[in-house]
Amino acid sequence: MTVLTENTYKPLTNEDAAALVRKLKLIDGHDLAVSEIGDGNLNLVFRVQSSTESIIVKQALPYAKVVGESWPLTLDRARIESEALILAAKYVPDLVPKVLYSDSTLAVTIMEDLSDHSILRKSLIEGTAFSKLAAHIGQFTARTAFYTSDFYLHPFEKKKLVQHFSNPELCKITEDLVFTDPFFDHDTNEFSSALKPDVEKIWNDELLKKEAATLKYQFLTQAEVLLHGDLHTGSIFVTEKSTKVIDPEFAFYGPIGFDLGQFFANIALNYLSQHHHSSEPFNRKETQETLLTVIQETWTVFQNEFTRLVHEESKEVFARTPGVLQNVLEKTFIDSVGFAGCEIIRRTIGLAHVADLDSIPCEDVQLFLKKKALHLGTSLIKSRKSISSIEQFTSIIRGA
């Protein structure tokens, strides 16, 4: 059902967004102020405000905004996003924004406004810590994974969900941008000429490429659980008490460790950037150790909650067979370290960098930290199978 005049797609103007909200009677008041606030790579995001309340109207564009109309992109991602949010709300209701309305023809999702929250990436760059973040992300990843996995669902139901969340175009973006292009001389890559020798080292490292190809193959083939698919620190809104995971338009069935790996990578990139962002050495150490604690605690909460759910709610007959869950958790951990390595390399030299590093004004400092990031990403990918604990993982980041 569309609420504009025709049953066809059109990009919304500010006036259209207000008319839609008025027609749906989602907030009171006729004098609605609208601003387009989207700063992401792909979509239009309108905040529609009355004198007392506000909501968000998000609309997918038929192309990737970051590149332009030359990169067409399916509108189906808006359906995927709203349905993934609605599904997640069943298992982690406090950790996602409430969806108030969706329309797959208009590619629109209307949801609660989280303007009392801030984007995690921005807050981390400012050096702010969030004491509940790790517990929340550990819970989010464990619960969304378990309740969409074969441990919990009947195989027919699970395979129906795999089809429902088939997301080939958005997966292809990740397959290219995270797992392929940075490892070759590809025109989507972006880096300064001073970094070229380090980038060429990556392009010429056959062992690294073999391991990146293995991780890509896992991403392509292992339909274990429904993933968020793009769990970087720009996809998370925070306050001290609350965490909301937004933007699951990349959701699809993939390997459990992928969301954890992307989250760890983006925290690790912020860790490196603190060499610049916190100028006082004491503050810097403290901020950096807090970030490593976030990685450790996220994994611990994920592992404990996933284990508890398998023990208490699994319908799979092998769930309690000794060693079965342990194998799944060990594989998930190793994968998450490898996926983190790919994401770190991609955010440093591929398409869609991170402000943590790119906002550093001094080019020499940027270069110094980007070299460290490439080195860290490379060693995580290559040595992931010999990293046997989360403490070992964080000590590799500390030593980067």
| CB-based contact 206:379 (threshold 8 Å) | no
Q: Which stretch binds Mg ion (CB under 5 A): 33-41, 50-58, 59-67, 147-155?
A: 33-41
| CB-based contact 317:150 (threshold 8 Å) | no
Has 113 been labeled as part of a binding site? Answer: yes
Q: Is 356 in the site for Mg ion (CB under 5 A)?
A: no
Q: How many CB atoms lie within 10 A of CB 70?
A: 7
What DSSP state is assigned to residue 299?
A: H
- Give Cα separations from 195 to 289, 342, 361, 363 (angstroms): 28, 17, 16, 11
x/- contact string, 245-274, with Mg ion (CB under 5 A)?
--x---------------------------
What DSSP state is assigned to residue 63?
A: E
Please give the Cα distance from 229 to 220 (Å, whole number): 12
CB of 65 to ligand SR1, least distance (A): 8
Nearest-5° angle of CA 96, CA 98, CA 104? 105
Q: Which stretch binds Mg ion (CB under 5 A): 32-40, 297-305, 367-375, 385-393?
A: 32-40
356 binds, among Mg ion, ligand SR1, none (CB under 5 to 8 A by kind): none
Given candidates 3, 4, 324, 352, which one binds ligand SR1 under the rule CB under 6 A?
Answer: 352
Has 47 been labeled as part of a binding site? Answer: no
The closest alpha carbon to 344, from 389, 368, 378, belongs to: 378
Query: How many residues make contact with ligand SR1 (CB under 6 A)?
Result: 10
| CB-based contact 109:58 (threshold 8 Å) | yes
Q: 174 to 213, contacts with ligand SR1 by CB under 6 A? A: 174, 177
**For residues 157 and 190, which CB has a smaller minimum distance to ligand SR1 in the complex?**
190
Q: Is 163 exposed, middle or buried (0-12, 13-18, 19+ CB in 10 A)?
A: exposed
Q: Which stretch binds ligand SR1 (CB under 6 A): 143-151, 171-179, 191-199, 220-228?
A: 171-179
Q: 34 to 63, contacts with ligand SR1 by CB under 6 A? A: 41-42
CB of 197 to ligand SR1, least distance (A): 26
Question: Which own/partner pairs from 312-316 qualify as long-range (CB within 8 Å, at least 24 positions apart)?
Answer: 313/146, 313/152, 314/151, 314/152, 315/151, 315/152, 315/153, 315/154, 316/150, 316/151, 316/152
Q: Which stretch binds Mg ion (CB under 5 A): 35-43, 74-82, 209-217, 269-277?
A: 35-43
Task: Return the amino acid letter for 357.
Answer: L
CB of 125 to Mg ion, least distance (A): 18
Query: How many residues make contact with Mg ion (CB under 5 A)?
Result: 2
**Looking up tokens 């972006």, which residue turns up?**
190
Q: Is 173 in the site for ligand SR1 (CB under 6 A)?
A: yes
DSSP character string of 5-47: SSSS--PPPHHHHHHHHHHHT-SS-S--EEEE---SSSEEEEE
Has 313 been labeled as part of a binding site? Answer: no
Has 58 been labeled as part of a binding site? Answer: yes
x/- contact string, 295-334, with Mg ion (CB under 5 A)?
----------------------------------------
CB of 171 to ligand SR1, least distance (A): 11
Given candidates 18, 48, 64, 107, which one binds ligand SR1 under the rule CB under 6 A?
Answer: 64
Return the CA Rg of the chain. Answer: 21
Has 114 been labeled as part of a binding site? Answer: yes
Please give the Cα distance from 339 to 52 (Å, whole number): 44
Footprint of Mg ion (CB under 5 A): 40, 247
Footprint of ligand SR1 (CB under 6 A): 41-42, 64, 66, 173-174, 177, 230, 351-352
Which residues fall in the annotated binding site for ATP? 43, 58, 112-114, 247-249
Which residues fall in the annotated binding site for substrate? 230, 346
